[in-house]
Chains A and B, each alone.
Chain A
């Protein structure tokens, strides 16, 4: 094969590959932005609750917050995301709470169910509750980047050091990866 033919073939196959790639993206409904704009978001299925969302974000407190997928929650009295391990009395005493900033509010619904809500002003995105909920419960608590707080840096400081590559660009049209919605 001469050089000209080789270059022509490479060009053809490149165009064909690109077309196949784009078709594949559309076919498999990959997250492609119609507007071409992307924002950072955490894939909760990859997140390992390493704590870096709290310490590496350029914002103080972090733009990462815990969110609650209520459709996955068991509304349990003994909540692994709320209580420290081996808590004797299941009450809202600060000494019983796992959250270092007391950002989870526990509200009685009916015996024996309790609702857990996140106070985002207090949440620093450390993921401690997420670890407890994932390890002992249904995994309804998870971390998300709040776009009203995030500066959408060109290079996310957390994504740079995320050990599980859980932070990725998602289309601005679908900026959140909420567990109960996209996993079901």
Chain B
């Protein structure tokens, strides 16, 4: 009799334990938890009217093991710098050549004169055979070059570490430092909260610099005078959000700007006046809170976005150009 009672008790105890374990397990399931009373929903900012997206991704090139650092396009070839090498890739995605670099590059710009590769405190110019022609050096150890542009004997280098734009003669002589305009109420020199600081020349030879902390693009003469600027601080699709955007910028053959933002990652096209023209890639194309893609443009107006998170080159074309 006593044994029977003991068995019943043990069975009931086992059942109770099983129920407790099950309910505890169920209570930790995400769908069983109460909603987050402190939820901060940013999905609203990720939504983009499809009518605004004038580009579509037509192909992409996966980059394998080498971690990409910067991209440029010249004469139907993609030039890519990774952690320790320079790669030349055909438009179809075939690697044509590869050269080891002594150092970790930050940026690349390829023009008729050669291949400019920016490291922390120097820019090296290579010819198309891979021979070093000359270097452009910073005077400061705290330099961190993030972008280089070239036009008719003038090399413009964006130094995020010093928050200054350096202008060199083609022979390597430093001719001017531009700290950005400070006098006007809405300008404060270059504000560079993180290592994103981009520079480019338009096809007409205008020098444009991103002032990321001010969410602005600024046009300077080569004498260092501010000619014009436009700023778009906004979380909406029309502007630049976050602490320091746009992170990267490129200029299309028609003079329109292409910008890439970090945080809420998106790629957009702006008119030279600063008015939003269209969306190239909405936030849904990227992972939120990840890295802004580096940008390059082709002579046909294709946009090459170097997606660091996927380690691939994503190619965007205007929808009306490829019939979709």
Contacts and interface: CB of A to CB of B under 8 A. Distances in A.
Contacts of A131: 40, 42
A64 to B, nearest CB: 12
Given A52-B33, A85-B235, A86-B236, A74 B244 contact: yes
Contacts of A80: 241-243, 263
A2 B33 CA distance: 52
B89 to A, nearest CB: 31
B33 A161 contact: yes
Contacts of B235: 85-86, 136
Interface SS of A by simple majority:
loop
B213 A126 contact: no
B36 A76 contact: no
A128 B40 CA distance: 6
Contacts, number: 81
Contacts of B1: none
A55 B76 CA distance: 56
A178 to B, nearest CB: 18
Interface in A65-97: 73-76, 78-80, 85-86
A137 B243 contact: yes
A111 B241 CA distance: 19
Interface residues of B, number: 30
Interface in B212-258: 213-215, 233-236, 241-244
B28 A160 contact: yes
B15 to A, nearest CB: 23
A177 B263 CA distance: 22
B36 A52 contact: yes
Contacts of B33: 52, 161
A73 B244 CA distance: 11
A136 B38 contact: no
A44 interface: no
A36 interface: no
A24 interface: no
Nearest to B265: A135
B37 interface: yes
Most buried by A among B42, B194, B242: B242
A163 B30 CA distance: 7
B244 A76 contact: yes
Contacts of B234: 86
A159 to B, nearest CB: 10
A114 to B, nearest CB: 11
Given A112-B188, A127-B38, A136 B263 contact: yes
Interface string A157-180: 000110100000000000000000
Interface in B168-217: 188, 191, 193-194, 213-215
A127 B42 CA distance: 14
Interface string B285-302: 000110000000000000
A135 B288 contact: yes
Given A85-B42, A128-B40, A137 B242 contact: yes
18 contacts: A49-B40, A51-B37, A51-B38, A51-B39, A55-B37, A74-B193, A74-B194, A74-B244, A76-B193, A78-B242, A80-B242, A80-B243, A86-B235, A131-B40, A135-B289, A138-B244, A160-B28, A161-B33
Interface of B: 28, 30, 33-34, 36-40, 42, 45, 188, 191, 193-194, 213-215, 233-236, 241-244, 263-264, 288-289
